[in-house]
Amino acid sequence: MFKDYDFIYIDYTGIVKDTGEVFDTTIEEVAKKANIAEEGKSFEPLLVILGEHAVVKGLEEELYKMSVGEEKEIEVLPEKAYGDRDPNKTRIVPISRFSRPSSIKPNTRVRLEDGTIATVRSVSGGRVFLDLNHPLAGKTLVFKVKVISKLENEKDKILAILRRRFGKNITEKFVIELSEDLKKVRLQVPNEISLGQDVQFLQYFAARDILLFVLPEASVSFVYEFTKNSIST
């Protein structure tokens, strides 16, 4: 049994119950068999911070009841997944609204000007019929889940947060220092990302996650250290 703010890694495969369609998985062989393996995508267990609500409600609720090494098949109804499909969440727009009209085809996903993600249902007469419902709205889902591990100490949890925000290769280059009383977290940032796009945005959310889920009484510092050899001229 797990509790709020436990960090666990899971392997899972998500399936649409009625059709048997695999819509997501952390397992490469399953993805290839279902023809959903994207080029360049790495397959590895998923970090779930319980209570973060980053996975669908019905799945998260059942994860609390599991233990490390346990496997389970979990059925999740629409109300605890992506909700019921709303027939009013549709929109018709002129195809000229899109910067690349030739790429607008049925079943493709597009981002609208207001940031909304929609699915193209049809294209006809210069008009595009869009569905703003989540593609899995109204569907009962089945998750085949195995809990791989649980993180126990603060440093491992911080590493997991950094890895999620910055990626595996960069995270290995961070230097993490914790004070004895766990009131201060000092993170030395790899020089190669110091000028990277969105680095401040990523640091903010990494710090937020550390304070919310790991050490709520601590302060978090991102430190940059440059030497002559580390700066290209």
CB 145 within 8 A of CB 75: no
According to CATH, what is the number of the domain 153-233?
3.30.70.2210
* Chain region(s) in the chain for CATH 2.40.10.330: 90-131
Domain with CATH 3.30.70.2210 in the chain: 153-233
Per-residue confidence in pLDDT tens, the chain, 233 aa: 999 999 999 999 999 999 999 999 999 999 999 999 888 788 999 999 999 999 999 999 999 999 999 999 999 999 999 999 999 999 999 999 888 888 899 999 998 888 889 999 999 989 999 999 999 999 999 999 999 999 999 999 999 999 999 988 888 899 999 999 999 999 999 887 877 778 899 999 999 999 999 999 999 999 988 777 666 65
Q: Does domain 90-131 have CATH number 3.10.105.10?
A: no
Query: CATH for 1-83+136-151?
Result: 3.10.50.40
The candidate with the shortest Cα–Cα distance to 208, out of 47, 49, 10, 45, is: 49
Would you list the DSSP string of 87-124? TT-EEEEEGGGSS-GGG--TT-EEE-TTS-EEEEEEEE
Q: What is the pLDDT of residues 156-172, one digit of tens each?
A: 999 999 999 998 888 88
* DSSP single-letter state for residue 45: P
Residue 227, Cβ neighbours under 10 Å: how many?
7
First-to-final CA distance of the chain: 55
For the entire predicted model, the pTM comes to: 0.87
